[in-house]
Amino acid sequence: MGRLFAVEIVYRGIFQKTLAKNISRGIVLAAHAEGKPGISFGRYGDSPERNGIPAKNFAIVGTDDVTLEEGMAKYEPTEVDISIAVDDTLCKGVESWAWYGLQPINRLLKPGGALIVTSREQPDALIAMCHRKEYPYRLAIVKGTPSFSGLWVYKDDHTDVRILGAVAKLLPDLVGLEAVQKVILAEWRDPLKATSAARAYERTTTTTVRPDQGNPEKPYQFELPKWWEMREGIAIPCIRPGQPMQDMDNHKTGGFRPERNPTFKKFTTRTMRPVVNFDTCIKCTLCWLQCPDSCFDVTPDGLYDANMEACCGCGVCEAVCPVTDCVTMVNEVAFHDNASQWEMWKKDKDAYQTWLNGKIEHRPERSHGFRYRGQYEEQTPEMLEIAREG
């Protein structure tokens, strides 16, 4: 048996589907150019990819046909040489269709394997988000804003070819830079993209992440019911309607907090989250009415608190709010938990306002989905400048 290589690309549903496909396909074609057989495939390909829900593509390469066939006999790899996160907020962990609980982004990495992340953050910031691994691995950052586009739109900002260049640098036994550039010229017919791959190859460096570094929390998980625990007949337990909330100051009850699925969460789907200025809220109800996931709790004092375990970060609440900067979408990287904003505000309003202003002031530019014609054409030049100049 020869050597089997495996690479996974974790991406944000429909917003990065084409990007993930280009990367996995490019790896396999570059391997073919060097005489190694391989296969590229998607882990998920249907509606669960909506709304930015995490999904995966894989590139499997063998040094010979028999080795590749052995690797293909598995449903998907149980360990990989490289994990690629094309959005840095995925470093917090992912939960997707057919996954049970929160999966660390580095879960499948072999000892000494490499995690490649598209980000403008520094290594320490990303390491702090990643769950701890029991053995060392390498972290490499492809500098740039995560590349989001819409369902029928692809943002051609060289992210795909730059990641291919980084793969060649980190695992030359899998593919070399010359093969990567050969495939880029054949597939994209763009010498500038081949140059971008070479520059990424030259710039790529790694940081070794030790077992004592990273998020020490145990990822959220649950156990599937056993067959002997299931009820007779066809019965699906319902989610209860909900109940009033209690005000922590006067202990009065009021408002309404809907019950939510106790097992499946939605917070791993978001790259942004809403922060609410309760002091300027006019209680118009629009965020509560228009939220597609019913994630807002109605508080006893008639305000609206977004439940951060249910929020998918779509931004509808910000769009419908009639008060300027009352609801603001902020990059998910800026947060470390899913705590209630309303409870924080009730506890210390001055401290909350300072916290709120700090989040809004330092929010990095982030957008996803197709919001207006020409949006991506406006954003692409900045990414190309990063690719050229670093």
Residue 173 and residue 24 in one domain: yes
pLDDT at 44 over 70: no
79, 156: one domain: yes
Identify whether 371 is part of a domain.
Answer: no
Whether 215 and 127 share a structural domain? yes
Rounded average pLDDT over 5-11: 95
> In angstroms, rounded to a whole number, what is the distance separating the alpha carbons of residues 141 and 57?
19
Q: Which pTM value belongs to this model?
A: 0.90
For residue 96, is pLDDT > 80? no
- Average confidence score pLDDT of the chain: 89
In a domain, 368, yes or no: no
Number of structural domains in the chain: 2
**Which structural domain, as residue segments, surrounds residue 27?**
4-222
Phi-psi region of 11 (alpha: psi -120 to 50; beta: other; left: phi over 0): beta
Query: What pLDDT score does 223 carry?
Result: 81
Do 199 and 336 lie in one domain? The reply is no
Q: Quote the pLDDT of residue 317.
A: 93
Mark whether 199 and 315 lie in a shared domain.
no
Domain assignment present for residue 382? The answer is no
- Comparing 238-247, 295-304, 309-318, the range with the smallest average pLDDT is 238-247
Q: Is residue 98 part of a domain?
A: yes
pLDDT at 48: 56
The 10s digit of each residue's pLDDT in 279-299 is 999 999 999 999 988 899 999
What's the pLDDT at 370? 57
User: Which stretch of 112-121, 170-179, 211-220, 310-319 has the lowest confidence by average pLDDT?
Assistant: 310-319
Do 246 and 175 belong to one domain? no
Spatial contact of 113 and 83, defined as CB atoms under 8 Å apart? yes
Regarding whether 116 and 10 lie in a shared domain, the answer is yes
Query: Do 208 and 277 lie in a common domain?
Result: no
Total residue length of the chain: 390
* Cβ neighbours of residue 262 closer than 8 Å, sequence gap 6 or more: none
The answer on 120 and 40 residing in a single domain is yes
Residue 390 pLDDT exceeds 70 = no
Query: Comparing 13-22, 42-51, 206-215, which segment has the lowest mean pLDDT?
Result: 42-51
Averaged pLDDT for residues 64-77: 85
Residue 381's pLDDT is what? 81
Q: Does 82 share its domain with 150?
A: yes
- If residue 151 lies in a helix (H) or strand (E), which one and from where to where? none
The span from the CA of 260 to the CA of 241, in Å, is 9
Instruction: Say if residue 181 is in the same domain as residue 316.
Output: no
**Are 61 and 135 members of one domain?**
yes
Q: What are the beta bridge partners of residue 119?
A: 143
3-state SS of 14-74 is HHCHHHHHHHHHHHHHHHHHCCCCEEEEECCCCHHHHHHCEEEEEEEEECCHHHHHHHHCC
